[in-house]
Structures are given as C-alpha cells and as structure tokens.
Amino acid sequence: MAKAAARKKNGGGGSVPDWLVTFADLMSILVCFFVLIISFSIQDEQKLQVVAGSMRDAFGIVQTFSRTAVIERDGNPEREFLKSVTYDPQELETQFSEIEHDRFSQQGPEVNTYQNERAEVESRQRFALAAASIQQAWRENPQITTVSDNLILEETEEGLNILIADQEGRPMFPEGSKYPYEATRQAIAAMAPILQRLPNPIRISGHTAAGVQYANPNYGSWELSFDRANITRQVLQEFGLSSNRIEAVIGRAETEPYFANDPYLAANQRVKITILNEDPPVPAELTP
C-alpha cells in the first residue's frame, strides 16, 4: 500500500495534463497573430504607395501626382506632402491599339513608329524594282553590255536618274550629231516597256560638255542638247512609252555639268532620263 501510494505520488502529482500543453501552444499562436495584426495596422503610407506603384508600373500604369490646396508660386508656401496619388493608363504600353491599322502587321505601339509616308516607301520600292529591271534588260543584250560603263542609274530626291553619258574615247552619240549610235538606241529602247509600267512622269534633258566647237554658228550646244533629248523621247515612244507620260523635254547645254569641277570632261555630255518622284496626273490603271 505504501509503495503504491508512493508511485501514485511520484508519477502523477508533479505532471501537467496534456490538454493544458495544447492550450498553452494555442495561446502563444494567438498572441503572435495579434502582434502581427497590430504591426500591419501601423503602415507607412508613402512606402506602401511606392510598393503598389512598382506593381502597377509593371502592368502599364503611370503615377500622376498633384498637389492640392495651395498654388505653387515663388514666395508662397507649398505643401510638403501629397494629398492623393492617382493612376492613369500609359499610352503605347499595350499590345493592342484602339484604332485598327489594316496596312500594318502589328496592331500595338509598333504602328506609331512608322516614319515614312506610305507613298514615299512605295516610290522607293518601285524605283529599286525599275532599276533592277532596266539593268537586267541591258545585260540580256550583248551589244548594250559593251557600253555598260556609259549607262548610270542613280536615285536622288527628285527621282531615279538614268544617265546615258559619254566616256573618254567611247561616245554615245557621234560628234555633233543628234542621232545616237545603234548600241545607244538599243539601250534606250530596252527601257521603254519598263518605264511604261511605272505611273511616274518622265523628264528628259540633254547636256553637253564645255569647250566644244560647232561648225554651224546657228547650231550650238543649246540646239544639240535639246535635239538629243528629243530623239531619246522619240525612241522611247517608238518602243512603247506613251506620249502623255512625258513631263518635259529640255536642252540644258553646258549649264549643268555632271562634274562641276571639270566642265570639259566628256562625261558631262549626256542625256538624262528622270523618273520623277511625284504622283501621276491620272491613276496608273487609266493610263493608256
């Protein structure tokens, strides 16, 4: 009996019930919970707005700040704090545009980065294609390839220039004559169908070099330069270019040398065919 009483006293008298341990743990957790709630209730509004703003920026929102109650002028007091912060959607920060742009593959901010007018881009593409077609037509004719150095294509602000120029010892026209050599005539004829397919007007100008002596005093550089330009026009029309496509035929004499620093060079003597960089007077499909 004494031993049993001793065991009962030693085994259970100083022990804590299991439910009390669980209850103590629960109370500790509740205390921590309330401490967190109190700490969250004391907020730094400015820091909270900075954090919230960084999240909004990531989703296409920009902050708009406005000061209130006081007009800010030199010498007047102003508030040191912000009364309100609002958020406005940023433009061009979306993958979709409110306005449809059928001419573009992208419908987002990319459509607003198009720097060139559509007509300007199409003209450049048209000129590049025309230049390639003309060069191909010249290459296909062996007789034209012999004077390939005399044929020059260059793009300018005015349009696409096609130069038929003399080279030293290899003229494109006989001296003093308005009629071209056969190779020159074939080079001009090869261009006619290509020029006809373009909607742009055509200007033809003749140029001579300085210092040329003319046997006929009544027939000089002005007459010769115009006649060569006009014969070029006739050859183009003979091989398919419509007359209403010609904007002008001009004789420039030696007033516009190709090499301004040496107006006596043979290369200054040339005929220039310019595909003008401007809209045609009538739609291309209505051009006969």
pLDDT, tens digit, 9 for 90 and up, residues 15-71: 778 888 888 888 889 888 877 776 666 556 665 565 556 555 555 555 555 554 444
How many domains, the chain? 1
Interatomic CA distance for residues 217 and 127, integer angstroms: 41
- pLDDT category of residue 109 using cuts at 50, 70 and 90: very low
69 occurs within a structural domain: no
Contacts of 17 (CB under 8 A, 6+ apart): none
CA distance 168 to 175: 13
Residue 54 lies in a domain: no
Is-contact 273 267, C-beta < 8 A? no
CA 78 to chain centre: 47
Instruction: Give the pLDDT band of residue 285 (cuts 50, 70, 90).
Output: low
**Is there a domain that residue 33 lies in?**
no
pLDDT at residue 1 above 60? no
Name the band, by pLDDT with cuts 50, 70 and 90, for residue 163.
very high
Cβ-based burial of 157 (10 A; exposed 0-12, middle 13-18, buried ≥19)? exposed
* Number of residues in the chain: 288
> What is the C-alpha to C-alpha distance for residues 41 and 45, in angstroms, rounded to an integer?
11
CATH of the domain at 204: 3.30.1330.60
Inside any domain, residue 81: no
Distance CA 245, CA 242 (A): 6
Helix (H, G, I), strand (E, B) or coil at 85: strand
DSSP per residue over 36-60, as a string?
HHHHHHS--HHHHHHHHHHHHHHTT
Give the position of tokens 């001296």. Answer: 175
Mean pLDDT for all residues in the chain: 76
pTM above 0.75, yes or no: no
Pairing relationship of beta strands 61-66 and 84-89 according to DSSP bridges: antiparallel
In a domain, 13, yes or no: no
Predicted confidence at residue 98, as pLDDT, reads 53
- Separation between Cα atoms, residue 151 and residue 163, nearest integer Å: 6
pLDDT range class, residue 82, cuts 50, 70, 90: very low
pLDDT digit string, tens, across residues 168-184: 889 999 999 999 999 99
For the chain, what is the radius of gyration of the CA atoms? 44
**pLDDT of 249 higher than 90:** yes
Domain hosting residue 254, numbered range: 118-286
88, pLDDT greater than 80:
no
CB atoms near residue 187 (< 10 Å)? 26
Q: Phi/psi class of residue 240: alpha, beta or left (left: φ > 0; alpha: ψ in -120 to 50)?
A: left
Least confident span in 40-54, 136-150, 208-222: 40-54
AA identity, residue 171: P
pLDDT of res. 19: 86
Residues 6+ apart with CB under 8 A from 111: 97, 101, 104
Q: Are strands 61-66 and 202-207 parallel, antiparallel or unpaired?
A: unpaired
Residue 51, domain member (yes or no): no
3-12, 209-218, 248-257: range with lowest mean pLDDT? 3-12
Taking residue 130's Cβ as centre, other Cβ atoms within 10 Å add up to 20
CA–CA separation, 155 vs 80, rounded Å? 61
Q: Read off the pLDDT band of 100 (50, 70, 90).
A: low
Q: Give the β-pairing of 151-155 and 61-66.
A: unpaired
Q: Residue 223: inside a domain, yes or no? A: yes
Q: What is the pLDDT of residue 37?
A: 78
Q: Is residue 12 included in any domain, yes or no?
A: no
